[in-house]
């Protein structure tokens, strides 16, 4: 069973964020967010090293997971915060199966990050933590 936890609370980040852009290029994967309550406050999340995989879905297509989160942690767990890490991740499990476990040597360092906004759910698996700036 997947286990979710909030992350980034110690970085003085806004509780809810909105995606402004997602760029995958030579400088890495760059996500630009703004504070949901104050669009002038910008948050940049940069994965300068290669990420293993990412996906972006409309939040309206994430209903099964939202039901699981509500049943397990309560509604406010994910409706009042945007940044999460997932343990025992089905996404990582799928990735490892699909890649025939070529990243087995990194198994302990691979993490699943989730960014929940009003319009998007962005999931990233990476063996490197992102750099966050406000």
Contacts of 109 (CB under 8 A, 6+ apart): 127
Whole-model pTM: value is: 0.93
Q: What is the pLDDT of residues 44-69, one digit of tens each?
A: 999 998 899 999 999 999 999 999 99
- Two tokens at 14? 């806004």
Give dist(CA 70, CA 65) in Å, integer: 9
Strand blocks (E) in the chain: 3-6, 17-25, 28-35, 42-47, 53-58, 83-87, 111-116, 120-126, 131-133
Query: What is the DSSP code (8-state) at residue 40?
Result: T
Question: Tell me: the pLDDT tens digits for 82-110?
Answer: 999 999 999 999 999 999 988 888 888 89
């Amino acid at each position: 069973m997947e286990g979710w936890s909030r992350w980034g609370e110690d970085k003085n980040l806004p509780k809810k964020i909105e995606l402004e852009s997602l760029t995958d290029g030579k400088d890495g994967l760059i996500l630009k967010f703004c504070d949901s309550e104050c669009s002038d406050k910008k948050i940049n999340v940069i994965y300068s090293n290669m990420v293993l995989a990412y996906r972006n879905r409309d939040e309206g297509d994430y209903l099964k997971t939202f039901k699981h989160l509500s049943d397990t942690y309560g509604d406010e767990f994910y409706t009042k915060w945007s940044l999460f890490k997932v343990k025992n991740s089905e996404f990582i499990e799928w990735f490892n199966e699909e890649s025939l476990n070529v990243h087995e040597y990194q198994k302990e360092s691979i993490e699943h990050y989730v960014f929940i906004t009003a319009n998007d759910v962005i999931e990233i698996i990476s063996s490197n933590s992102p750099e966050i700036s406000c």
